[in-house]
Amino acid sequence: MDLAPLMDSLYAIPLLGIVFQAIGYMVDVIPSNGSNILNQATPLALAALCGVVCERSGVVNIGIEGTMLISAFTAWVVGIAINPMFGNPVPGEVFGATIPLVICVVAAVAAAIVVSALHAWLSISLRANQIISGTIINIFAFGVTGYLDQLISKSSPASAGSFMAFTPPEALVTLPVVGWIFEMFLYQGPIAMSTIILVVGLQVWLFRSRWGLRTRAVGEHPRAAETVGIDVLRLRFRNVLIGGVFAGLAGAWLTIEATNSFQIGMTAGRGFIALAAMIMGRWTPLGAFGSAILFAVFVQLSQLIKIAPPQGDLGSIMGSVPAQLWDALPYILTIVILAGVVGRSVPPAADGVPYERESAA
Amino acid sequence: MSAATPSGAPRRERGLAYRVWARLAIPLTVTILSALVGAVIILVSELLVTGEPFEWGLALTAYGALLQGALGSPDAIVSTLVNTAPLLFGGLAVAFAFRAGLFNIGVQGQFLLGALGAVLVGVWVADWPPILAIPIATLAAILAGAAWGFIPGFLKAASGAHEVVSTIMLNYIAVALLAALVSGPLKVPGSPSPVTFDVGNAAWPVILGRNGHIGIVLAPLAAVFVWWLLRRTTWGFQVRAVGANPDAARYAGMRTKAITVATMTFSGALGGLAGACVLLGVTHTMTSSFGTTVGFDSIAVALLAASEPLLVIPAALLFGGMRAGAGLMQIKAGIPVELVDVLQAVILLFLVARPVLRRLLRLNTVPDEPATPRATTMVPEVPV
């Protein structure tokens, strides 16, 4: 079936034609970039999961950005340090995984848990303002990774190595209509692929398990939760540490899955965009994942428009916008979504309020 | 520091020495501990990373160079003051918003927009007499910064979008906008690298040493002005009331949303002034990579000063001095200037962990709890 004449006549309508062109462009590029989009959504989704686990129990974590940065740096540094110890192993069969890379991931998660413990201690135990605590973590992370990066790059380090994407069978990817979906989900590195499992797992855990019920109770009404015997402070502490696991994975993705290097400030606001994704996803793992995908679509579009702009009027309009401005697209979208959605998206009632035990009050 | 004589202070009989100690113990301990942690970081990273022969004195060399670079000569002192001025404006911006319970993390963006406004108009009025050019360019910076502060304020008031996320996003948008303008319409035609024209007569006059521009006087004046605004005007009272308890302020008939917008706009204007301070005072032109650490240092300054406008002056001096001395530290001891970021964060960490320090030091009185607004949450302002 040849749609070209129909499309041409639709495109010729002023204004409405632009809309058709935009839709046509998205239909054209999004499926073919599916795996890139899911890949870009990975750190956002993982960081948003961190936010969900923390905020569902009542702790606002603005420091996700810094936590990611530190764990990204840790994964990279550990890789550089231990690769020679294992005699620079050849990439493995699956995901190009090697023992050092697995250790890198573990180290990144451990680092993120340590940073999260700091946030938990400051904001739960000391009842410091949670936003101040998170901000300090961000400043600290930016400083300490920048400082160490400067020191390390003096000695021009070797590569840390990185995971490779799984290559799905040719027959599956080339299937008509649904092939791109298989490619999207299967042509991925290990962290990106496990993200989907983590999202679903956390969704079930949060809404179907005892821990989930307790978490939500503590986030909504900690006083009531404590009267039925839940240790509010301990549960919050534990949840912030669990959140650290997700932030650590997001950080590891940055340095040993998406790239093979570390740059100062490479998180580029992803920790904050993730918070917007969490809000838009109404503090649920699945919702946050969906929003993360939406953000990733726009991250991808902002790059694609520069490389392969659409044809016709739309292309000439887009071409007249300076290339640098397209980089701002995901950030603008974040603000728009935050402003449009937040009023209808209700956070946990005790979110951000430090809890004081009845006896101590 | 308004609680100099707490009402019914039970410890009055403790004597002068104790009271002086109680007041100085926390700042002193925080300073000493931070310096120690910094030294440990220097030595450990030296040991693990660089692989050069280990020397214990490196931390001392580094701190010595830092001090020398900040205070060692008249030029160094001027450099400290020049580094302090934008931090003072920026710190005031954060502190002022904080008093209304708003967390303005977007000073970096407002700073960039202010600088952008200053260079945009500054280049245009570069040939005008300075008496006209300087105020016009400065005003442009103020307006641009204010506009960038207005957006998150308005969004917060209109829809409840949390200002922390929206201001951070505006920081990134500001970076993109700046890069687009400087390598596009503002670029000097034919120049190999993206750079704008000089602001010429719109540059702030130098009044001290070789590069001590007028900002080093304007910034402290701004601190006094903000103090006056907060303490002596109706609007300042409303700002503080909203910060202390928005519900109570609303019941008292204050238009909290309007105050939120106005506070963020004013905060943005101060951030824009910080941008003017660097662009019109120091660089005079803008490259596409224009940008400093002013925005994030400002947050540190405001936190250190507990959002008290007059305390912002010493806090900005401390961090400004560290920025001024960092270069010499890098040259003399081979320590990257980024150490200053680490030190700032460590200082803030100890400051937040104050309750622990107080317990360790057996300080039972609470002489100087800063006026922290109640928990700023992600909860949108829903009319009750």
Residue B228 lies in a domain: yes
B122-128: long-range contacts (C-beta < 8 A, 24 or more apart)? B122/B199, B122/B200, B122/B202, B122/B203, B122/B279, B122/B280, B123/B186, B123/B196, B123/B197, B123/B198, B123/B199, B123/B200, B125/B201, B125/B202, B126/B197, B126/B198, B126/B199, B126/B200, B126/B201, B126/B202, B127/B200, B127/B201, B128/B201, B128/B202
Q: Which of B162, B300, B377 sits opposite A139 (nearest CB)?
A: B300
B257 shares its domain with B365: no
Q: Which residue has the higher pLDDT, B76 or A337?
A: B76
> How far away is chain B from the Cα of A340, in angstroms, using its nearest Cα?
7
Residue B10 lies in a domain: no
B43 shares its domain with B84: no
Q: Are A343 and B379 inside 8 Å of each other by CB?
A: no
Q: Which residue has the higher pLDDT, A27 or B181?
A: B181
Q: Which residue has the higher pLDDT, B381 or B335?
A: B335
Mean pLDDT (whole number) for B244-267: 89
Pick the range with the lowest mean pLDDT from A48-52, A141-145, B363-367.
B363-367
pLDDT at B323 over 60: yes
pTM: 0.86
Within 13 Å of residue B81, how many CA atoms lie on the same side as its CB? 22
A185-229 pLDDT tens trace: 777 788 888 898 999 999 999 999 999 999 999 988 888 888 888
Q: Which of A275, A327, A340 sits opposite B165 (nearest CB)?
A: A275
Q: Name the token pair of B68.
A: 């020398």
B318 shares its domain with B345: no
B344 touches chain A (CB under 8 A): yes
A136 touches chain B (CB under 8 A): yes
B103 shares its domain with B234: yes
Of the pLDDT bands very low, low, confident and very high (cuts 50, 70, 90), residue A322 is confident
B320 shares its domain with B349: no
pLDDT at B297 over 70: yes
A60-76 pLDDT tens trace: 999 999 999 999 999 99
Q: Which residue has the higher pLDDT, A225 or A17?
A: A225
Pick the range with the lowest mean pLDDT from A20-24, A125-129, B276-280, B346-350.
A20-24
- pLDDT at site B383: 34
pLDDT at B204 over 50: yes
Of the pLDDT bands very low, low, confident and very high (cuts 50, 70, 90), residue A11 is low
Q: Are B166 and A332 inside 8 Å of each other by CB?
A: no
> How far away is chain B from the Cα of A79, in angstroms, using its nearest Cα?
14
B344 shares its domain with B316: no
- pLDDT at site A342: 61
Residue B62 lies in a domain: no
Residue B5 lies in a domain: no
- pLDDT at site B334: 81
A110-168 pLDDT tens trace: 999 999 999 999 998 888 888 889 989 998 999 899 988 888 877 766 677 777 777 77
B172 shares its domain with B93: yes
Instruction: List CB contacts (< 8 A) between A133 and chain B.
Output: 352
* Residue numbers of the domain that contains B48: 15-56+338-371
Q: Which of A62, A155, A334 sits opposite B50 (nearest CB)?
A: A155
pLDDT at B369 over 50: no
pLDDT at B14 over 90: no
Instruction: List CB contacts (< 8 A) between B375 and chain A.
Output: 129-130, 352-354
- pLDDT at site B112: 95
B110 shares its domain with B255: yes
Residue B6 lies in a domain: no
B150 shares its domain with B172: yes
Q: With a CB-CB cutoff of 8 Å, which residues 124-153 of chain B face chain A?
A: 151
B173 touches chain A (CB under 8 A): yes
Mean pLDDT (whole number) for A269-285: 89
pLDDT at B53 over 80: no
Residue B233 lies in a domain: yes
Number of separate domains in chain B: 2
Residue B69 lies in a domain: no
- pLDDT at site B364: 61
Of the pLDDT bands very low, low, confident and very high (cuts 50, 70, 90), residue B295 is confident
pLDDT at B12 over 70: no
Q: Which residue has the higher pLDDT, B126 or A20?
A: B126
B215 shares its domain with B350: no
Q: How many CB pairs (< 8 A) connect A and B?
A: 175
Q: With a CB-CB cutoff of 8 Å, which residues 351-370 of chain B face chain A?
A: 352-353, 355-356
Q: Name the token pair of A191.
A: 């962290």
The burial class, CB within 10 Å (0-12 / 13-18 / 19+), for A360 is exposed
Residue B261 sits in a domain of what CATH number? 1.10.3470
B19 shares its domain with B127: no
Q: Which of B262, B265, B221, B225 is nearest to B110 (CA)?
A: B265
Residue B173 lies in a domain: yes
pLDDT at B3 over 50: no
Q: Are B168 and A353 inside 8 Å of each other by CB?
A: no
Chain A residue with minimal CA distance to B105? Answer: A135
B291 shares its domain with B361: no
State phi, psi for A294 to the nearest 5 degrees: -60, -45
**Residue A3 to residues A6, A17, A37, A162, A175: CA-CA distances in angstroms?**
5, 15, 27, 43, 22
A350 touches chain B (CB under 8 A): no
- pLDDT at site B270: 96
Of the pLDDT bands very low, low, confident and very high (cuts 50, 70, 90), residue A281 is confident
